A and B are shown apart, each in its own frame.
Chain A
């Protein structure tokens, strides 16, 4: 059973471009969480999704950020018009219910 798969592992974008981060949860997991880790900081919750539904997006910036978890395919975190302050590691976690979460290896976004 493969773990949580995130891609790409590293992503470089110029200011103003779009960043798309993908997360494939573990098999049988229908709950997905996205967290952001800024340099020298802990992980901050961004959004919690179940298949086709956003359950909690209280940690998402109001503008430029969106997330989806379609019926088929991976969960996508989308950042439009990236700025330098978006540079961070973005981690996805999945769980079969709302208990223990398993983390992916993260996508490290660098905005230049």
Chain B
């Protein structure tokens, strides 16, 4: 089956620190990969995505590269801000036919001033 594994949180960083949140996946087909962000009390917002191997998704200073050889899609940001504090979800969706999103458990990020 399909599954997504994320590093457990919380991840606690100081402002301007470098961020990495690991995400690996298993899939029966060829997935598209996503990172969603959930701010406190809010729904999920799409942060970035990549639809094929070696694609790099980027948005708001966040980046993730689709690595087929390591089945990974790690999220990175060079300098985090307090406002980045949220829960980050990695997800996959098969590209062929209809498919729903399979989510990881989420990683909470806490950034202190």
Q: Which residues of A contact B (CB under 8 A)?
A: 4, 6, 33, 35, 40-45, 48, 55-56, 91, 93, 98, 100-106
Contact A45 B105 (CB under 8 A): no
Contact B100 A42 (CB under 8 A): no
Q: A33-B100, A55-B98, A98-B99 are in contact. Are A41 and B105 (CB under 8 A)?
A: yes
Contact A91 B106 (CB under 8 A): no
Q: Would you call B89 an interface residue if the criterion is a C-beta within 8 Å of the partner chain's C-beta atoms? A: yes
The complex places the Cα of A21 from the Cα of B84 at a distance, in Å, of 30
* Of the residues B42, B99, B105, contact of A42 by C-beta under 8 Å: B105
Q: Would you call B101 an interface residue if the criterion is a C-beta within 8 Å of the partner chain's C-beta atoms? A: yes
Chain B residues, CB < 8 A from A100: 46, 49
Chain B residues, CB < 8 A from A91: 43-44
Chain A residues, CB < 8 A from B57: none
Contact A42 B44 (CB under 8 A): no
Contact B44 A98 (CB under 8 A): no
Contact B100 A56 (CB under 8 A): yes
Closest to A89 in B: B43
Size of B's binding interface in residues, CB under 8 A: 18
Contact A42 B106 (CB under 8 A): yes
Contact B98 A42 (CB under 8 A): no
CB distance from A109 to the nearest CB of B (A): 15
The complex places the Cα of A101 from the Cα of B100 at a distance, in Å, of 9
Closest to B104 in A: A42
Chain B residues, CB < 8 A from A41: 105-106
* Of the residues B89, B101, B104, B105, contact of A101 by C-beta under 8 Å: B101
The complex places the Cα of A84 from the Cα of B49 at a distance, in Å, of 36
CB distance from A43 to the nearest CB of B (A): 5
Write 18 A-B pairs (CB below 8 A) sorted by A numbering. Answer: A6-B43, A33-B100, A40-B105, A41-B105, A42-B4, A42-B89, A42-B103, A44-B103, A45-B101, A45-B102, A48-B98, A56-B98, A98-B99, A101-B101, A103-B43, A104-B43, A105-B43, A106-B42
Contact B43 A106 (CB under 8 A): yes
For the complex of A and B, the 5 pairs showing the least CB-CB separation, nearest first, are: A105-B43, A42-B103, A42-B105, A103-B44, A98-B98
Contact A105 B42 (CB under 8 A): yes
